[in-house]
Structure 1
Amino acid sequence: LAHGTTTIINSAKEPEVAQLCEMIRDAGVVVEGIGTSTITIQGTAQKPLEFKDIEIIPDRIEAGTYLCAGAITNSSITIKKANAVHIQSSIDKLEAMGCKFDINRDEITIHPIGRLKPVSLITTEYPGFPTDMQAQFMAVATMAIGESVIEERLFENRFMHVSELNRLGSDIWLKGSIAAVRPVAELYGADVMATDLRASSALVLAGLVANGTTNIRRIYHLDRGYDNLEGKLSSLGADIQRLSE
């Protein structure tokens, strides 16, 4: 709605940003550079926009989390209405760990094959590996046969989940922005605390394979990024329920 031209430099290139730009463009605004790090917008000088009905793209982090659920439990899971292109970096890392995939137009099926291989990953900007999948992959890496190395390059203090995963029996060591996830025979149920959205999902994933009951407090963090996670996992056979705190 501004007067003149606005240029956004170092813009995020995530699919969500691209779709927002497309929505504005379709409403009558001239937008250039969609999907790139430099976006130029020709203002409409407060002229009303004419928005149309749109279909929101699938949540790529939610889809990636369910793929991790299949990997960590050595189970086949099919995710419908998912865009594989948007989570290709996560699929690539799971394939490196030994998982197999069937990918159709809007459907992804993961087929784990036995014990997972260790993985090395570095978080970076899209289309690289997303920082919002780092915690989930750390949980998956606890079940690998060797040491995995995870480097967080986007945010500080992004390893708050490590101490809680270690409460469940994982063997994770930190040095600055790098985490080493060493193999363990199994995880054990314990009382743990979620510190943020993605840490919450990582603890849920670890709890799926832990021996015994895992109680996760402050699970309300999940609701910012997942719709009925416990219900969907329960429909797949998980013994999971939400209790009031």
Structure 2
Amino acid sequence: VPRLQGVRYRVMPDRIEAGTFAIAAAITQGDVTLSDVVSEHMDPLTHKLREVGVVVEPCGRDYRVKGSPEMYAVEIQTLHYPGFPTDLQAAFGALLTQAQGTSVIHERVYDRRLQYADELLKLGATIRVSGQTATIQGPTPLHGRRVHALDIRCGAALTLAGLAADGVTEIVDIHHIERGYEGIDAKLRSIGARIERVVAV
């Protein structure tokens, strides 16, 4: 272009962070309203949450999620936007450990995106991984243990699973989580989660 000029631009909200908190509400059977959400960006997640049995009510820039005591198995396939986001696949996998029946996740975007399954197994989940597909049997009670955040998405999934687990879940290598979520512990505390950051000595 021959010339550039300044414009005023509003940065779009992060649909992955919003989706993570939506799944947090679902896995804890909570009732949470997220603000400043572009609802159409959330459409693939909205569809799957409703299919699971979760109440989702977009209203303008607000996005209400109300969990259900009864959730049902679904099949998901990750795709590039506007498909189901691969960056929410692990968190949704944690949710599906609490759904009735056999759920199937097909990862179609990246390799090695199902490693979080081994960490969820430590908490009591029933998951079988074959290639790029994870099969999850639920619902299974989760029990707190020491687990490792292998990457950002694994860390998010373990955080949500920990909220649903009995007892104390300790997540190490949280620097991975911090790469993708600013102040996730404080934000979760603000909606009632019992979560704290512990500094190793």
What is the TM-score when the length of structure 2 is the normalising length? Answer: 0.96
- Aligned AA (2:144): G
Aligned to 1:70: 25
Whether 1:172 aligns to 2:127 is yes
* Equivalent residue number for residue 41 of structure 2: 86
Question: Paired residue for 1:132, among 62, 73, 87?
Answer: 87
More divergent stretch after superposition (111-120 vs 200-209) = 111-120
Residue-pair matches, total: 200
Work out the percentage of aligned pairs sharing the same amino acid.
38
Aligned to 2:181, which of 209, 213, 226?
Answer: 226
User: Any unmatched runs of 5+ in structure 2?
Assistant: none
Any stretches of 5+ residues in structure 1 without a counterpart?
Answer: 1-43
Q: Which residue identity does 2:87 align to in structure 1?
A: D
Note the alpha carbon deviations across 1:146-184, whole angstroms, 9 max, x for none. Answer: 111000011111111110010011010011111001114
Q: Which SS does the other structure have where 1:150 is aligned?
A: strand
* Paired residue type of 2:28: T
The residue correspondences of 1:198-209 to structure 2 (distance < 5 A) are 198-209=153-164
Partner of 2:52: 97
Supply the distance in 2 between the matched residues of 1:53 and 1:107 (Cα, whole angstroms). 23
2:165 aligned partner: 210
Q: Deviations over 1:221-245 (max 9, x none)?
A: 1122212111011011111011124
1:223 and 1:48 map into 2 onto residues whose CA distance is 39
Hey, what's the Cα distance between the residues in 1 that align with 2:82 and 2:41?
Answer: 8
Runs of at least 4 residues of structure 1 off by over 6 A? none
State the Cα distance separating 1:49 from its structure 2 match.
2.1
- SS of residue paired to 1:52: coil
Any idea what SS the aligned residue of 2:129 has? strand
1:28-47 equivalences in 2 (<5 Å): 44=1, 47=2
Show CA shifts across 1:19-76 (max 9, x none): xxxxxxxxxxxxxxxxxxxxxxxxx2xx552222321110000000011001100111
Q: Contact 2:185–2:196 (CA<8 Å) still a contact in 1?
A: yes
The whole-number CA distance in structure 1 between the counterparts of 2:154 and 2:140 is 22
* Larger-Rg structure: 1
State the structure with bigger RCO (CA 8 A, min sep 6), 1 or 2. 2
The structure 2 residue matched to 1:243, chosen from 174, 177, 198, is 198
- Indicate if the aligned counterparts of 2:97 and 2:140 stay in contact, CA closer than 8 A: no
CA-based RMSD of the aligned residues comes to 1.1
